[in-house]
Amino acid sequence: MLGIAGTANAQPIPPDPGVTTTQEQNNPNFGPTQPTAPDEPVPPATDGPPGAAITINGADGRPSTAVTTLVGITLLSVAPALLLMMTSFTKIFVVLAMARNAIGLPNVPPNQVLAGLALFLTFFIMGPVLTEINNIGVQPYLNGELDFTGAMEAGSKPLQTFMGAHTRQEDIALMTRAAGQENPKDLASVPLTTLIPAFMISELRAAFIIGFVIFIPFLIIDIVASSVLMSMGMMMLPPVMVSLPFKILLFVLVDGWGLVITSLIKSYQGG
């Protein structure tokens, strides 16, 4: 009886602090489990080699936003070259610069002012052409009616017509012979690689002719001023200092800027 009572009143043995146990070890049902097989890989949605998919057209058949952005960035990168080669900008800027030099003010107005004036005059002159390009090329492409190649062909026709109307036949023949090609039957059969340089040559020729006409009255003023100074024995005084105020006065009295700009605009309107 004493032995049984002593066993019943005995305190439980505390666990050894140096030994750690887990809930799994205390669980009588703990034991090794069978490993589970991994999931099967999901097959690709479309057949073919792996790679990145680029969507050219949107859901409604129109060009996607990425393609439209890419085309816009490309046009912005080549816009300066197109502005110089295929519009009236070159002729206008050269004429304005020659008018400035004829007066005797090589830096007034500055080049930035002349370039800005030439740019807006170019937009004014090229407005109908740009509108036609937008109507028959850009908008049909954005609406999904034309692909990129068709839009380029349709949009280049108004520009080709504009350049052909202001290009001399002699310059077209010159570039055709330089390229070793046969003479084109009509303007539509002239390739752009021949028409663009011929157009630039014609524009520079016309700009120099206008500049020559502008130089004549100011040259006469310089000659008169030089003759007067020579007759007075004032050979040490530069004639430019005497003639410059009279040239500026003449240019203002005859409304020189208005005459030059009006002549440039009418040269593209056939007036």
At residue 60, does pLDDT exceed 70? no
> Residue 164: inside a domain, yes or no?
yes
Give which of 209, 125, 207, 201 is closest to 169, Cα–Cα.
Answer: 201
Give mean pLDDT, residues 33-49: 66
Q: Which two tokens stand for residue 60?
A: 């409604």
Sign for the CA dihedral angle at 140, 146, 147, 151 comes to negative
Residue 152 forms part of a structural domain: yes
* Local confidence band at 271 (pLDDT 50, 70, 90 cut-offs): very low
Residue 101 tokens read as 């030099």
Report if residue 30 sits inside a domain: no
Question: Cis bond leading into 109, ω under 30°?
Answer: yes
pLDDT of residue 120: 92
55 lies in a domain? no
Amino acid, single-letter form, for residue 14:
P
59, part of any domain: no
Contacts by 17-26, CB closer than 8 A, 24 or more apart? none
Task: Quote the pLDDT of residue 2.
Answer: 43
**Which of 73-82, 119-128, 190-199 has the weakest average pLDDT?**
73-82
Is position 47 within any domain? no
Q: Hey, what are 193's tokens?
A: 């690689």
Residue 27 in any domain: the answer is no
Number of domains into which the chain is organized: 1
Query: pLDDT-derived band of residue 157, with 50, 70 and 90 as boundaries?
Result: confident
Could you tell me the two tokens for 86? 């295929």
- 204-216 residue pLDDT tens: 999 999 999 999 9
Least confident of 42-56, 91-105, 114-128: 42-56
Is residue 171, in this structure, part of any structural domain at all? yes
Residue-range definition of the domain harbouring residue 161: 65-269
